[in-house]
Structure formats: C-alpha cells, structure tokens
Chains A and B, each alone.
Chain A
C-alpha cells in the first residue's frame, strides 16, 4: 500500500526556528548565526566586536561546540552573558537547542544575541535557528577556493567576513576570486575584509551592525 505523505522532513526544526524568530522579533532582539570552519576566528571576532559595542549595545552569546566550555568562558571574561551548548559530537546546532539556551538567558534588556555555531562549513548551513542575520566567516589561511567548494554556506549567508587579512603578505590568497565566487552565488552578500587580531577593517563591520 502506497501512502502519499508530502511532509517536510525538517518540520520540527523549522517549527522551533519559527518560534525563536517570533521571540526575537517580539523582544526586538537581533539574532546572528555565525558559521565557519574551525579556527577561522569566530570567537576572536566576537570578543573584539563585543568590546567595541558593549557600552552601547547589550549583547549575549550562545556558544556551540562539540566539547568543552572554553568559548563561553572567553566571552564571559569580557563581561557578557554566555550560554554554552555542548553537542557531544553533533556537527551543527538545532533550533530546539537554541530555544532551550534562550531559557537560560536574561533576555529582557538584550539588543543582540550571537549564536556561534559549531566550527563546520557544511552541516550548520542546513539548519535554520530562527536568526535574522547569518554571518559566514572565511579566514584567508583556508584558501581562496572555499566559496566554490562549499557553496551552500555562502549562498545562504547575509554577511561574509574575510578574516585574518593581516596574514595576506604570507599567503597567495586572491580576495577578488573569493568576492567573485561569493557574489555569483549570492548577489546581496555584504562582504567585509577584517583582521580580528589587529582590528583592521572592523570599523565597517561595527558600523553595519550598529545600523542594522
């Protein structure tokens, strides 16, 4: 016996994502989902961004890692509330995990919640967490072919941060190629070239974020 089902397989994640998005809108909170490979500098970008904005804007962070609570500790060290989600091996965060993490945050005064997703340029792209803005980070040490190799992450992002530009003199990284490849996939992508270490180029990213 054949039965027509025609149901969305990730409906459960979509339901949680929709609920999260509704919650953010009702509280007037901007939620950002940061996606990248491991070691691209997401946490350092966050640290520098929070230091710059925390007098003007109330920020909290939801940290996703397979194991350890190291990243949440780094964020708390700069005086901002952080919740750590340890996925114990799962390669991406789900919207349901974000819903649970939100219960652990005092969201009354918040302007921005940043979700630092698991370091992985593949799986997190498929899971809407209810964010309004998706940021993908690519560090120049990873090579300039990544937009072509991992198109999903770039096709679905709103912002691309090209990080570690202070290393450019030591690498053969073609920024033009990355821009071209990324814009081919996503013509509305906003691209910033930054160094979280030296903070070069970050002022434009700060301005964009403040304006949003």
Chain B
C-alpha cells in the first residue's frame, strides 16, 4: 500500500500550489485533481482512491474527485519493428510474439491539474 504515501505527497503538492491546507469548505476548495502515472511507475486505482479520500479528509481537498490517467509505455520489437504498448504483465510483441524489444522511458507520477470551486 505505497498509495498511502503517494496520497500524502499529492496533498502536499496541492497545498504548495493553493498555499492553504484547511479552512472552511466553499470557495477555493479543491473539487478535482488529475494525476498521471506510467506502467512501471504505476498505482492501483482502487487503493489510490481509497488512500486519497482518507488523506484528504479535513483538508481543502475533502471530497475532491481524483482522476487517474495511465500513460502507456512504448515498446519497440527488434524482431519485426512493430511499435506497441508495452504490458509489464505480458511482455511480448503482440504482432510477432517475440520478446526481444526495447522499451521507452516510463512516465513519471505527476499531478497534472487541479480544479478549484469558484466563488
């Protein structure tokens, strides 16, 4: 459950942006946050939602909707030259089934965007 620590880090990143952590709910409160992750650098959606909800309680992010984007990892087959979405749990070229390939750089864990409630 490293999602718990990631949830805390998401909140810290948001607080650094909003310059506030708590306060009365309403204007300025965070209603939505969008994060993205790679394939090696991935999170489990269910655990992430659970951890975020728990960590956000009592802060300006309480009740905020968390969107999680999974960025595919590019694989390049050395056998047939096919470029494909690399699946860490099934590592082979979907076209020729060979497993000689190079993989691109994995996307980092990113806080992309937040949405604040309007006045």
A98–B72 alpha-carbon span in the complex (Å): 32
Question: Interface on chain A toward B: helix, strand, loop, or mixed SS?
Answer: mixed
Residues of A within 8 A of B97 (CB): none
* Closest A residue to B14 using CB positions: A5
Instruction: Tell me whether B112 and A9 are in contact (CB under 8 A).
Output: no
* Closest A residue to B108 using CB positions: A8
Q: Contacting A6 at CB < 8 Å: which of B40, B110, B116? A: B110
Size class of the contact patch on chain A: 20 to 34
Question: Interface on chain B toward A: helix, strand, loop, or mixed SS?
Answer: mixed
Residues of B within 8 A of A12 (CB): 9, 12
B contact residues, total (Cβ < 8 Å): 30
A184–B1 alpha-carbon span in the complex (Å): 26
Q: Contacting B110 at CB < 8 Å: which of A2, A7, A91, A92? A: A7
Instruction: Tell me whether A155 and B88 are in contact (CB under 8 A).
Output: yes
Instruction: Tell me whether B2 and A8 are in contact (CB under 8 A).
Output: no
* Residues of A that sit less than 8 Å from B by CB: 1-13, 90-92, 94, 122-123, 126-127, 148, 151-152, 155-156, 184-185
15 A-B pairs with CB atoms under 8 Å apart are A2-B114, A2-B115, A3-B115, A4-B113, A5-B14, A5-B111, A6-B113, A7-B13, A9-B6, A9-B13, A10-B9, A10-B109, A12-B12, A156-B40, A185-B91
Q: 10 smallest A-B Cβ distances: which pairs?
A: A123-B2, A9-B109, A151-B88, A1-B116, A5-B111, A184-B99, A184-B91, A9-B9, A2-B115, A7-B111
